[in-house]
Chain A
Amino acid sequence: MHGWLLLLPAAVLLVTFTHYPTVATLYHSFFSTSKPGRPTAWIGLDNYRNMVEDPVFWQVLANNLWYALATIPLSIALAILMAVWVNGKIPGRGLLRLSFFTPTVLPMIAVANIWLFFYTPGYGLLEQVTGLFGLPSHNWLGSRNTALGCLVIVTVWKEAGFFMIFYLAALQSISPHLTEAASLMGAGRWYFFRRVTFPLLMPTTLFVLVNAVINSFRLVDHIVVMTKGGPDNTTALLLYYIYDVGFKFWDSGYAAALTLVLLVILAAFAMGQFLFLDRRVHYQ
């Protein structure tokens, strides 16, 4: 009895703002959006039919996939590299750690503003550097080929330092005896990393991976600031598209259907993690 009473306030809020909206998303995705003179009506699967025929939806999904496939491995690899460096006896360790971690505490929106300036055609820092090498001016965020890549760099820059600290903690918990034993037996550093360190870091990698995947679907602040999804939707991610449809075109029925796709992706990922990854990773 006491248990439920203690739980009650949190449970009410959780149900209202997590469980109810999840179910309501499904329900509302079967309705049309109300317009002046035309109230919302049950339209069955029409929103989903429109979705399948909507080229922007498929493009956004592909964008999100490429974005995830680029940001996740890059930021994890860099995070491991940073952690190994900062964990060793490198000169200037404190400064390096500071430099790597600082982007983590900055708001994504501030980060996006800074990078927007960095990428500005003509006088941004990037253009100044490429100008030194005599390269022609290029509108990095304004061209279809480079815009998404530019966003990937911003995300990796922001996230790698965050993931680094988890690897750093994991590295510090690896027994120094292992390193000693390996060097006595003449194992090279790369061999040691591949056969001992990396497998021991597996639980950390799983944790970081889950975070990175969620972030790649959750965080679109930089898109609002830097590209607004353009040019030609090449940088629109799924959540950004939902924001566009729901709060610029005010098409809440279609936005609900799109949200459901996002929820299914997240749920599928959660299931996969639960059923598959958890078993393959060994915990100490």
Chain B
Amino acid sequence: MTRTFTALETAGAWVLGFLWALPLAYAVWTAFHPSEFSTHFVPTAPLSLENFVKAWAAAPFARYFVNTIVLVTMILAAQLVLCTMAAYAFARFTFRGREIAFLLVLVQLMIMPDVLIVENYRTMSRLGILDSLLAIGLPYMASAFGIFLLRQTFKTVPKELDEAARVEGAGPLEILWKVYVPLARPVYIAYALVSVSYHWNNFLWPLIVTNSVNSRPLTVGLQVFSSGDQGVDWSIITAATLMTSGPLLIAFLLFQRQFVQSFMRAGIR
């Protein structure tokens, strides 16, 4: 009885696993074979990189890659600095209005920049920075999520360490840099992975604020490419799709454990 049940369960798990892998496997098949095989699944179909070559030549993907990399780096750098400072303030300083300020920060967990597109577009247009990487990144640089995560981490640092450093004559910023930041390293790594994959994948806001090759990130570039002229065939679009998510996907396959742990660590609060 239990044995058949276990066998059934294993089968169920495998069916689900297979279904889950299917769309991606299908995309990989299509991208790596000549287009006449895109819907013919014969094991003898020749492998080819031609679709990738064609996709790469058909749109300025090199520029899009540079844009995305610059964007993601810029956002992450700003987030790390701003969130660290703010989290330190909330964790270890007492000042008037701290509790209210913290509640106001948490508002962003519910009302994310993703839904404030109309007003933020107006602001960017007033600042005169529409169609720039800065405009894509600015709304995300002060991240409530990052502040919250680091504040929780800093609070677990023993006060004695802090005091010992102070006795030795270290100033607040020096203490932050020499005591808190090193102790929070795993949290920084987790946050960085989550932030990079979020902004590598972000689409709607970049779509709205950009309208030229110079500022389009990969996601928007991919959309412009695949919805563009009718002549593009599916094999090439699929190749472009895999190409744009490639670096992240490869990084994930190589560092699977770190990815899963980071997403987990950043999620559980």
Interface size class of B (residues with CB under 8 A): 35 or more
Partner of B27, one of A12, A13, A114, A262: A114
Partner of A243, one of B104, B142, B208: B208
Which residues from A are CB-within-8-Å of B14? Answer: 92, 96
A13 to B118, CA, bound (A): 17
Q: Which residue, of B107, B123, B142, has the highest number of chain A Cβ atoms within 10 A?
A: B142
Partner of A114, one of B13, B24, B93: B24
The answer to whether B237 touches A256, judged by C-beta atoms less than 8 angstroms apart, is: no
Contact bitstring B206-247, A, C-beta under 8 A = 1, else 0 = 011000000000110011001100000010011001101100
Partner of A157, one of B23, B114, B142, B244: B23
Partner of B118, one of A162, A169, A224, A256: A256
Tally of contacts, chain A with chain B, CB under 8 A: 251
The answer to whether B256 touches A98, judged by C-beta atoms less than 8 angstroms apart, is: yes
The answer to whether A162 touches B172, judged by C-beta atoms less than 8 angstroms apart, is: no
Which residues from A are CB-within-8-Å of B24? Answer: 102-103, 106, 114
The answer to whether A242 touches B117, judged by C-beta atoms less than 8 angstroms apart, is: yes
The answer to whether A117 touches B237, judged by C-beta atoms less than 8 angstroms apart, is: yes
The answer to whether A11 touches B117, judged by C-beta atoms less than 8 angstroms apart, is: no
The answer, yes or no, to whether A231 is at the interface (CB within 8 Å) is no
The answer to whether B268 touches A166, judged by C-beta atoms less than 8 angstroms apart, is: yes
Which residues from B are CB-within-8-Å of A185? Answer: none
The answer to whether B201 touches A108, judged by C-beta atoms less than 8 angstroms apart, is: yes
The answer to whether B9 touches A85, judged by C-beta atoms less than 8 angstroms apart, is: yes
Interface size on A, residues (CB 8 A): 87
Which residues from A are CB-within-8-Å of B248? Answer: 105-107
Across the interface, name the chain B residue whose C-beta is closest to A203. Answer: B268
Interface residues of A in 214-263 (CB under 8 A from B): 214, 217-221, 224-225, 239, 242-243, 246-247, 252, 255-256, 259, 262-263
Query: Which A residues are within 8 Å of any B CB, using their own CB?
Result: 1-4, 6-7, 9-14, 16-22, 24-25, 28, 78, 81-82, 85, 90-92, 95-111, 113-115, 117-118, 120, 123, 125, 128, 157, 161-162, 165-166, 168-169, 207, 211, 214, 217-221, 224-225, 239, 242-243, 246-247, 252, 255-256, 259, 262-263, 266-267, 269-270
The 8 closest A-B pairs by CB, nearest first: A3-B93, A21-B119, A3-B95, A107-B201, A13-B142, A6-B89, A17-B139, A10-B86
A-B contact pairs, 19 of them (CB 8 A): A3-B95, A6-B89, A7-B86, A18-B108, A18-B113, A19-B104, A92-B17, A102-B252, A105-B252, A106-B249, A110-B241, A110-B245, A113-B241, A117-B234, A165-B260, A221-B219, A224-B204, A224-B207, A252-B118
A18-B113, A107-B218 given. 8 additional CB < 8 A pairs?
A9-B82, A20-B119, A20-B123, A78-B16, A103-B24, A117-B26, A166-B264, A247-B208
